[in-house]
Amino acid sequence: MAGIKDVAKAAGVSVATVSRVMNNRGYISKETRRKVEKAMESIDYHPNQIARALQKNQSYFIGIIVPDSNHPFFSDLIKYVEMSANERNYKLLVCNSLDDPDKEAKYISMLRQNQVDGIIMCSHTMDIESYRKVPFPIVSFDRFISSTIPCVGSDNYRGGELATEHLIGLGCKRLLHISGPLELDILSNRRRDAFVITSMKHGVAYDIIEGAHNKLTFNYFWTFIHENLTPERLQEYDGIFCSNDLVAYALYLYAQQHGIDVPSQLKIIGYDYHSFTRMLQNPKLTTIMQPSDRIGVMLTNTLIQMIENADGELINNTTVDVTLVKGDTT
Amino acid sequence: MAGIKDVAKAAGVSVATVSRVMNNRGYISKETRRKVEKAMESIDYHPNQIARALQKNQSYFIGIIVPDSNHPFFSDLIKYVEMSANERNYKLLVCNSLDDPDKEAKYISMLRQNQVDGIIMCSHTMDIESYRKVPFPIVSFDRFISSTIPCVGSDNYRGGELATEHLIGLGCKRLLHISGPLELDILSNRRRDAFVITSMKHGVAYDIIEGAHNKLTFNYFWTFIHENLTPERLQEYDGIFCSNDLVAYALYLYAQQHGIDVPSQLKIIGYDYHSFTRMLQNPKLTTIMQPSDRIGVMLTNTLIQMIENADGELINNTTVDVTLVKGDTT
């Protein structure tokens, strides 16, 4: 059977270089890595990474737990996490919690049993203690869990402020915010805080309707709007800030059905911006873009930093900038 | 440290039952599995599945290689594959080939080194020989590779027929088909075959524009339409069958911009149907739905069948039914 010496010979590099590539250690130029990989392929050398993982106590597996991998925001995020992980030779295990605490716990246990090096947590249904007792690195998306679990998220407060100022700047006098569920201490609630404070600062009247726990389907939001709004009540408002694009789009369709013109009578702004669904929107939503590419790369890099500096100091939280994307609904 | 006996005791079942749950063998009721899992959790018992994998020569990892996990069709598919794999205790590694043959080959090698039990291949950029030499089970989506690699796909021929008959039934006299790339022998080409034969059968004039290799973004299709069509040429047709919903939607927007009314002057029908983007379509496309849930479950079940009956006979290809979903564009 072919061995590491044969790889070195075929690639025209030293055994030490092959070892560095295989162990993912030290600086290796892209070109050298490529040469070594080609050589491994050409002599049909496939080292058993599972055996190596056991020996070295590092698997190069990372897990990501999301509420729904098919939701456009998480589907964006997973792609960028996978691609940036792959660049550093980590493999991604994808888990759908469907926002079920039992499923979430079972996935964490499964990932632990499979010796993942770390987890990116994007589903937040369990209490904080359950995450704290996990004995390997975790990075959290949009929720503060503890000082040992770094958090990466968009600047939710700034997003809420931008959205509210945009509506007020366009002359809106009576605002509504459809928030996410507020009972959990997650960072997206800051969108609501910024909405309240910005409205107060400008002396503009406002209401809030609280969404239920992350039901991430359009149909859910469509029903939600029918249950929580009437056309009469909708006409009381001239500007609505929605905590995500799905509810914003459902609201736009509801207004249209009831003869309320958007944007002349009612202005609507969302939150998220999905690269794929954006193209299909007609009209295009005005929205706050939280950049899933930058968030995805940051989640991966933060986790790998924790994995590779296991004895290092605490790692800071990261806040990624948001921007207002003007569309046709304001 | 806690052991298997402690789990049995905490769960109130026999050691043999715990072993069956852990080894994923034999019939175990959902309730019993749940009890054992709870017990493992409660006594903090996390068996090292990587060590077991090495011992048993089975990892319970499966890989899925897609062109782009963020494309709505593949994002649908990945969710259903992950959920059905998880039900049978398999874990899913997601890989984005971005339709690059080098990346595809590298992922196959990576999955092989990580001892996956099998691969679901949805990206088709390499030649057939490269897949044939992979020494573990592969299931292919929408491409015949060899008699030892089962293929799961929607009934592409029937889909093309349904779409073409729908347009002709509505009185269209001059048809256009925007196909996928035809140089590869992939099953989606049968949509084009059915389009040609159905048009001929009804004596209706037709043209075909061939798409380039799977560039799965809306922006690509938007540019593609501008490069391959003019408003004048578009007016020559009264019915267009597009090989996917993104190109159909781009075409709809292009027609609208050039004052061609859909559906009175021009009828457009797509192919795919994405559960999420459907909600955002305004107007909604008429399209052929290939059910990603049934295809996803079938891909998983076929692969697991191959893994668990390694010495069994050849497994048949599977064709999943398609249906016409009437929208506003025909």
Structure confidence at residue B311 (pLDDT):
66
**Whether residue A1 has pLDDT greater than 70:** no
Tokens 């852990």 sit at which residue?
A: B22
pLDDT, one tens digit per residue, over A111-166 is 998 999 999 999 887 777 888 888 889 999 988 888 889 999 999 999 999 999 99
pLDDT, one tens digit per residue, over A186-209 is 888 999 999 999 999 999 999 999
Q: Which has the higher per-residue pLDDT, B131 or A243?
A: A243
**Whether residue B199 has pLDDT greater than 80:** yes
Question: Which of A71, A105, A115 has its CB closest to that of B48?
Answer: A115
**Distance to chain A for B200, nearest Cα, Å:** 33
Structure confidence at residue A291 (pLDDT):
93
Q: Which has the higher per-residue pLDDT, A123 or B278?
A: A123
The mean per-residue pLDDT over the stretch B209-223 comes to 77
**Whether residue A52 has pLDDT greater than 70:** yes
Beta strands A61-66 and A91-96 are parallel
DSSP characters over A94-136: EEE-TT-HHHHHHHHHHHHHTT-SEEEE----S-HHHHHT-SS
Beta strands A205-210 and A286-289 are unpaired
Distance of alpha carbon B205 from alpha carbon A209, whole angstroms:
55
**Distance to chain B for A44, nearest Cα, Å:** 9
Mean pLDDT (chain B, rounded): 90
Alpha helices in B24-155 (DSSP H): 30-42, 49-56, 72-87, 101-113, 128-132
Distance of alpha carbon B304 from alpha carbon A218, whole angstroms:
32
Q: How confident is the model at residue B81 (pLDDT cuts 50, 70, 90)?
A: very high
The answer for residues whose C-beta is within 8 angstroms of residue B30's C-beta and 6 or more apart is none
**Whether residue A185 has pLDDT greater than 80:** no
**Cβ of residue B87 closer than 8 Å to a chain A Cβ:** no
- To the nearest 10°, report the CA torsion of B114, B117, B120, B125: 50
CB contact under 8 A, B280 and A281: yes
Beta strands A323-325 and A286-289 are antiparallel
H or E stretch including A249? helix A245-257
Q: How confident is the model at residue B215 (pLDDT cuts 50, 70, 90)?
A: low
Write out chain B residues lying below 8 Å of A40, CB-based. Answer: 109
**Cβ of residue B69 closer than 8 Å to a chain A Cβ:** yes
Question: Which of A49, A106, A222 has its CB closest to that of B114?
Answer: A49
The mean per-residue pLDDT over the stretch B296-300 comes to 96
The mean per-residue pLDDT over the stretch A272-291 comes to 86
Mean pLDDT (chain A, rounded): 90
Q: How confident is the model at residue A282 (pLDDT cuts 50, 70, 90)?
A: confident
**Whether residue B234 has pLDDT greater than 90:** yes
pLDDT, one tens digit per residue, over B24-80 is 777 788 888 888 888 888 888 888 888 888 888 889 999 999 999 988 889 999 999
Structure confidence at residue B94 (pLDDT):
95
* Amino acid at the residue A209: I
**Pair B213, B99: CB distance under 8 Å:** yes
Q: How confident is the model at residue A79 (pLDDT cuts 50, 70, 90)?
A: very high
N- to C-terminal Cα separation, chain A? 67
Structure confidence at residue B1 (pLDDT):
64
Helix (H, G, I), strand (E, B) or coil at B26: coil
Tokens 């597009």 sit at which residue?
A: B242
The mean per-residue pLDDT over the stretch A165-190 comes to 92
Residues of B73-88 as b/e, b for ≥16 C-beta within 10 angstroms? bbbbbbbbbbbbbbee
So what's the ipTM on this one?
Answer: 0.85
**Whether residue A40 has pLDDT greater than 90:** no
Interface test with A, best of B45, B75, B119 (most A CBs within 10 A): B75
pLDDT, one tens digit per residue, over B138-169 is 999 988 888 889 999 999 999 999 999 999 99
Distance of alpha carbon A101 from alpha carbon A64, whole angstroms:
15
Write out chain B residues lying below 8 Å of A50, CB-based. Answer: 50, 53-54, 59, 114-115
pLDDT, one tens digit per residue, over B86-133 is 988 899 999 999 888 888 888 998 899 899 999 999 988 777 788 888
Residue of B nearest to A47 (CA): B113
Write out chain A residues lying below 8 Å of B219, CB-based. Answer: 279
Q: How confident is the model at residue A315 (pLDDT cuts 50, 70, 90)?
A: confident
Count Cβ atoms within 10 A of the Cβ of residue A100 and give its class: 0-12 exposed, 13-18 middle, 19 or more buried: middle
Q: Which has the higher per-residue pLDDT, B183 or B299?
A: B299
**Whether residue B213 has pLDDT greater than 70:** no
The mean per-residue pLDDT over the stretch A26-46 comes to 84
CB contact under 8 A, A94 and B82: yes
Distance of alpha carbon A108 from alpha carbon A116, whole angstroms:
10
Distance of alpha carbon B314 from alpha carbon B149, whole angstroms:
9
**Cβ of residue B238 closer than 8 Å to a chain A Cβ:** no
Residues of A282-304 as b/e, b for ≥16 C-beta within 10 angstroms? eeebbbbbbbbbebbbbbbbbbb
**Whether residue B288 has pLDDT greater than 90:** yes
The mean per-residue pLDDT over the stretch B12-18 comes to 90
Interface test with A, best of B40, B69, B130 (most A CBs within 10 A): B69
The mean per-residue pLDDT over the stretch B234-251 comes to 93
Domains contained in chain A, CATH given? 4-47 (1.10.260.40), 56-153+292-318 (3.40.50.2300), 156-291 (3.40.50.2300)
**Cβ of residue A104 closer than 8 Å to a chain B Cβ:** no
